[in-house]
Amino acid sequence: MSRVTESAAGREVASQEHPVAPYLRMDRMPHIWCPTCGIGTVVKCFATALEEAKIDLDKMAIVSGIGCTGRVAGYMNLDAFHTTHGRAIPFATGLKLGRPELKVTVFSGDGDLVGIGGNHFIHTARRNMDLLVILVNNFIYGMTGGQNAPTTPLGAKTSTMPYGNFERPFNLPHLAASCGAVYVARWTSLHTRRLTRSFKEALGRKGFRFIEVIAPCSTLYARLNRLGTGFDLMRFYHDNAEIRHGADPREVDIGFQEKIVCGKFIDEERPTFSELMHAHYEKTLGDKYVPMPPEGGWTHE
Ligand SMILES: Cc1ncc(C[n+]2csc(CCOP(=O)(O)OP(=O)(O)O)c2C)c(N)n1
Ligand code: SF4
Ligand SMILES: [Mg+2]
């Protein structure tokens, strides 16, 4: 018999259901992710954070680009947008500017956000746009066959660099911090409690917040590099992740099968793009300034 209770966010949970099921579009299951892929774990942590933070889901939207991680938006039982490759951040920016009362989260892959979408990433961080950006870094373009990404560690094998990557990869926390992100953290998909806490904390902040999650691509990255399954990579994270809150982001590069520095590196407050814009126009235009959009957003009933 199923017992129905109410979750923190007011959604009904039947007792035999997984506690985060109300946050997912269960009618779309089974999902496309491979066995021992890390993306599902990150989704579970995010759903748990929404539950624990008691986020009003009617005031929340999620935006993804394209890729295995880009499928996340489609599986979340939220107002969700699956956009074109590399364009999750500009789409989310438009959504936030048009509906400022929404909490907007971008959830996508490394290739999507800092490969094809890299230009959007740096300028949106520079402007301190009020977005939470969750990036699942599996060091590879997963969905399209394991090509080299801007995050592939030196020496790692990919389908387009079969003799090992020789391109210097981005150090993502450093990239985000140097462009102006006000909250920067990195975890692995093994750190489920800490990751959930970090999501919760970042959901409560404003400005450009960036959380990188290192997660296994068991089918391509692990196989091409003979690293075993996703479980073996989780064991690797267990043995090689080092938590160093407040570490200098310049010093958290990731080498191939080397230690992974995790933790919260940046947590500051600075006026967001919209706050600066309103203050500037109020000062320069005075009474002539009509704040845009009207309170509640353009489409508010
Ligand atoms: C404009 C455009 N270029 C290329 C592609 C092909 N493409 C789809 S997903 C993807 C890679 C996604 O990689 P990542 O964001 O790291 O996600 P993952 O699959 O690894 O989670 C690429 C290159 C596309 N869909 N659109
Ligand atoms: S290809 Fe890699 S990233 Fe994509 S679902 Fe499979 S394991 Fe996950
Ligand atoms: Mg990827």
Q: By alpha-carbon position, which residue is closest to atom 7 of ligand 1?
A: 144
CB 36 within 8 A of CB 221: no
Q: Are 221 and 240 within 8 A, CB to CB?
A: no
Tell me, what's the pLDDT at 9?
A: 59
**Can you give the pLDDT at residue 291?**
80
Q: Which amino acid is at 161?
A: M
What pLDDT, on the 0 to 100 scale, is given for residue 15?
A: 58
Assess whether pLDDT exceeds 50 at residue 33. Answer: yes
Tell me how far apart the alpha carbons of residues 56 and 146 are, in angstroms, rounded to a whole number: 37
95, containing H or E segment: helix 88-98
Pull the structure tokens for residue 211: 């959380």
Q: Is the pLDDT of residue 192 over 70?
A: yes
Query: Could you give the CA distance from residue 169 to residue 167 in angstroms, rounded to a whole number?
Result: 6
Mean pLDDT of 25-33: 96
Q: What are phi and psi of 267, to 5 degrees?
A: -155, 95
270, 295, 292, 301: which is closest to 94 by C-alpha? 292
Place of tokens 């599986």: 75
Per-residue pLDDT tens for 56-92?
999 999 999 999 999 999 999 999 999 999 999 999 9
Task: Choose which residue among 85, 159, 170 to substitute to test ligand 1 binding: the one with the highest number of ligand atoms within 8 A of its C-beta.
Answer: 85
Two structure tokens written together for 85: 């490759």
Banded model confidence at residue 212, pLDDT cuts 50, 70, 90? very high
Q: Give residue-wise pLDDT tens across range 174-191.
A: 999 999 999 999 999 999
CB 92 within 8 A of CB 113: no
Q: Is the pLDDT of residue 108 over 60?
A: yes
Tell me what pLDDT residue 11 has. 65
d(CA 250, CA 271): 24
Look at the chain and count its residues.
Answer: 301
* CATH code for residues 20-288: 3.40.50.970
Cα 54 to middle of ligand 3, angstroms: 30
Residue 209 to residue 183: CA distance in whole angstroms: 5
Query: Is the minimum distance from the CB of 33 to ligand 2 under 6 angstroms?
Result: yes
Q: Whose CA is nearest to atom 12 of ligand 1?
A: 67
- Per-residue pLDDT, averaged over 273-278, amounts to 95
Q: What is the pLDDT of residue 10?
A: 62
pLDDT of residue 195: 98
Task: Give the rounded percent of residues in the chain with a pLDDT score beyond 70.
Answer: 92
Mean pLDDT of 225-237: 97
Average pLDDT over every residue of 265-277: 97
Q: If you write DSSP's letter for every residue of 207-259 in order, what string do you get?
A: S-EEEEEE---IIIIIHHTT---HHHHHHHHHHHEEE-TT--GGG----TT--
Q: Are 132 and 172 in contact (CB under 8 A)?
A: no
17 falls in which pLDDT band (50, 70, 90)? confident
Ligand 1 center from residue 225 Cα (angstroms): 20
Q: How confident is the model at residue 95 (pLDDT cuts 50, 70, 90)?
A: very high
User: Does ligand 1 lie within 6 Å of residue 111's CB atom?
Assistant: yes
Mean pLDDT of the chain: 94
pLDDT for the residue numbered 119: 98
Return the structure tokens found at 276.
């600066």
pLDDT at 278: 93
User: Helix 172-179 to helix 118-126 angle, to the nearest 10 degrees?
Assistant: 40
Among residues 133, 136, 129, 134, which one has the least CA distance to residue 180? 129
pLDDT of residue 18: 86
